[in-house]
A and B are shown apart, each in its own frame.
Chain A
Amino acid sequence: MQDTLAKVTQGAFKLALQILGQTADAQDVLQDSVSIAIVHKSAPKSSSVDFKPWFYRVVRNKSIDKLREQKRHQSDEFDDHVDHELDSKLALDPEQAAETTQLNLKIKAALAVLPQQQRELVLLKDYHQMSYLEIAEVLDIPKGTVMSGLHRARLALKTLLTETVGD
């Protein structure tokens, strides 16, 4: 049970990181969100299946609040991650690492260009593996609009990626 909870909180941390781009900010948001989970009367129990979308929603809203608060660019931290990641992967298999990292970079760059909600849709589905129902809950949108929004986001991502390949 502890493992499942750890997975949810790690996932939520990454969502905050994906929105905010800065590790320290994402940690702050996670800490705040846990405090909310503890004191909020309508919070689902951390052991229930409803906890994950509820907690993601809190983390997402907190991250956006923070983002609005700061309105600053994240490019520096982005580069830090890449360097760090490159180092750790090079140790395993240099050739494969270079390829994976390049694709990873491209995907991240393309995601960064997408409008906020499209980026969230793609990440919640494809990275966090959430169902449409859970995504609707996290983003506070009707379930019926998840599929169309997600499809539009993917098509936009596809165009961005083909453009980069074409360069």
Chain B
Amino acid sequence: MKNTSLCEHIGEQISGFLDGELSQQESQRVSVHLSQCESCSQTYEQLKQIQGAVSQAYYPNMEQQKMNAVLQDLTSKRMFDFAWFAIVSGVLISVVFGVYHFWLDSSIPLYSKVVMSLIWGGGIGLFLTVLRQRLIISKTDKYNKVDL
């Protein structure tokens, strides 16, 4: 059966069908068309063959020794990230724990709790403000990659 307008319409969807990238409805439509149109189904079969051949094409791996050296760089970055995460979460947990115990401790008078909290809260607040500014500058500073 020859149906040129429909064939044209199906066109690139043959590739989408081959790659399993169509919606269920589209894929059903293509499947029905392929069963009825000899020319499109022939194209489909040829493209499938080519796909198989390309997937089997031979390209050598990078030498294992060199690859290992490269991978080590990447893994050490992961270790670096993990170490930072561990430090930051450790500090956070101990701060929360410390504050909790400080406020629940009945041997410390209320006024000293308030005064200590103000001093420490202010200090941490200042630190965070400066840190935030520094982070913003480091991200937007167009000269930060210039080696002096």
Contacts and interface: CB of A to CB of B under 8 A. Distances in A.
A35 B70 CA distance: 9
Interface stretch (B43-51, B100-108, B125-133): B43-51
For chain B, what secondary structure do more than half of its interface residues adopt (helix, strand, loop), or is it mixed? helix
A33 B73 CA distance: 11
Contact of B55 (A41, A126, A132, A157): A126
For chain A, what secondary structure do more than half of its interface residues adopt (helix, strand, loop), or is it mixed? helix
A152 B66 CA distance: 37
Given A34-B74, A100-B56, A125 B19 contact: yes
B47 A10 contact: no
A132 B81 contact: no
Interface in B49-75: 50-51, 53-62, 66-67, 70-71, 73-75
B15 A38 contact: no
B21 interface: yes
Contacts of B139: 41
Contact of A147 (B15, B51, B70): B15
A157 B50 contact: yes
Interface residues of B, number: 34
Contact of B62 (A30, A47, A85, A104): A30
Interface in A126-167: 126-127, 129, 131-132, 147-148, 150-152, 154-155, 157-158, 161
Contacts of B98: none
Interface in B71-103: 71, 73-75, 77-78, 81
A66 to B, nearest CB: 16
Interface in A100-133: 100-101, 103-104, 107-108, 111, 122-123, 125-127, 129, 131-132
B73 A107 contact: no
Task: Give the interface centre of A6, A23, A35, A111 by most chain B CB atoms within 10 Å.
Answer: A6
Nearest to B12: A151
B73 A151 contact: no
A67 interface: no
Given A45-B81, A154-B15, A17 B59 contact: yes
Given A131-B21, A147-B16, A158-B50, A10 B67 contact: yes
A147 B21 contact: yes
B11 interface: yes
B14 interface: yes
Given A27-B66, A132-B19, A158-B46, A107 B71 contact: no
Given A34-B74, A104-B56, A127-B57, 20 more contacts: A2-B75, A5-B75, A17-B59, A26-B62, A30-B70, A37-B74, A47-B78, A81-B58, A85-B58, A85-B60, A101-B58, A122-B54, A127-B59, A132-B21, A147-B13, A147-B16, A151-B14, A154-B51, A158-B43, A161-B50
